[in-house]
Amino acid sequence: MTEKLYWDNPYDTRFEAKIIEIDEDGIILDKTLFYPEGGNQNSDKGAINNKGYTFNVDHVIKKGELIVHHISEPFGDKLKIGDSISGEIDWEYRYGIMRAHSSQHILSAVFKNLFDIDTIRANISFEDVSIHISRSVSEVELTNVLFQFLNICTIRNLQFRSKIVPQTEINNLSAQIRGGVTGDTDLRIVEIEDYDINCCGGTHLAESSEVGPVYFYEIKKEREFKYLVGSKAIKMLSKQNIAAVDLANALNVSVTNLFTSLKTQYFKLKEENAILIEKALKLIAISPATTLKGIKIGVVNFEVDYKFLSKSFKNFPPNSLLIMNSGNNKVHILSNNEAFKANEVINELIKKFGGKGGGSPRSAQATLNKELVDVISELRF
């Protein structure tokens, strides 16, 4: 069994230990500060020193009750069972992961405490976190979540505490533990002062304000979030802050009103663009690019929302074919005639240019392997 020094001393960087086993995966010590990969948290990195030699530890894993340290270079007989070694973790890397993991506990707790939303999964790496929650949140809910989350990470400063709880005592806490309990004989719980209790074997900060600035760089479907902490967050916030000020100056608005102004202009341009696209489609319906086999063929060489395109095509005259060749080798075809069935045209294009796609006689699409330069010439089969 390897003693887990990182649980009680997550801020220590150096330790002494003895090699108790060596296998194909690496060095096994009787005790270690190196956190092994697990619980969706990356392992620590660092070095092992022995008799004047230094060996880099690039990955650490668990094997039952043992912790295996993978050495990145051959060590031959320079490391032997029974040797007393000194180890040192990469502190900057460890602290970045501690910030990330602690921030994830805070964010998951805020979702749960405010709106009873569970965290389905989370991934922790150096100063980078992704989290997927059980349901989508509204803009108002998300604003409330982020306000409390950032407040705890920077100002409120709650204490993190951890302890081992025997299974015989866990019933007293099970109702309070977010995410439920595991089947371990002894459970390690991590508590955020008066705010959250969770089963976790990871490394954590002492105080929540150590998380510091947070930068969200991706939000999908209002339920999947990716964000940065630490130096990565500071770099992005610094860069985006200057960019926001420059853009506000260019638009002659205050930076506090920048996003409201951009949002207003965006929807205005979107509405104007929709009107222009509608007019363009009406012109294509009246004056098609060419006529083949008595079929009026129109071509759209710009991106149009497929639902909007399909709706507009209903107003095209009989015996029409509408082709959207909008770039990225994507082709959409709509047909209301028997001479050129959409799926048959798509199949012919795939045979010649490669790719994949399909559809019905009325509507079909494909992504080709080669660029389709002159779509009209390809209809003369």
Mark whether 12 and 81 lie in a shared domain.
Answer: yes
Lowest mean per-residue pLDDT among 124-138, 164-178, 261-275? 164-178
- What pLDDT band is residue 207 in, cutting at 50, 70 and 90? very high
- What pLDDT band is residue 169 in, cutting at 50, 70 and 90? confident
> 259 lies in a domain?
no
Lowest mean per-residue pLDDT among 54-63, 148-157, 165-174, 286-295? 165-174
- What pLDDT band is residue 282 in, cutting at 50, 70 and 90? very high
Check residue 7 and give its pLDDT: 93
Give the pLDDT confidence of 364-373 residue by residue, as tens digits. Answer: 999 999 888 8
Mark whether 316 and 369 lie in a shared domain.
Answer: yes
Mark whether 301 and 365 lie in a shared domain.
Answer: yes
Check residue 350 and give its pLDDT: 93
By the 8 A CB rule, do 300 and 284 touch?
yes
Question: What's the CATH number where 207 sits?
Answer: 3.30.980.10
Check residue 96 and give its pLDDT: 97
Distance from C-alpha of 380 to C-alpha of 195, rounded to nearest angstrom: 70
Count the domains in the chain: 3
> 209 lies in a domain?
yes
Cβ neighbours of residue 281 closer than 8 Å, sequence gap 6 or more? 300, 304, 309, 312, 313
Reference 50, options 6, 2, 16; nearest CA is: 16
Give the pLDDT confidence of 3-18 residue by residue, as tens digits. Answer: 999 999 999 999 999 9
Query: Averaged over 210-230, what is the pLDDT?
Result: 96
Check residue 273 and give its pLDDT: 92
Residue % of the chain over a pLDDT of 70? 98
Give the pLDDT confidence of 45-96 residue by residue, as tens digits. Answer: 999 999 889 999 999 999 988 999 999 888 888 899 999 999 999 999 999 9
Last residue within a domain, chosen from 89, 114, 146: 89
Mark whether 230 and 100 lie in a shared domain.
Answer: yes
Range of the domain at 51: 3-89
Check residue 75 and give its pLDDT: 87
Between β-strands 14-23 and 26-29, what pairing exists: parallel, antiparallel or unpaired? antiparallel
- pTM of the predicted protein model: 0.77
Q: How far is CA 274 from CA 115, 284, 305, 331, 360, in A?
A: 37, 15, 10, 20, 27
Reference 129, options 157, 96, 89; nearest CA is: 96
Query: Averaged over 317-341, what is the pLDDT?
Result: 91
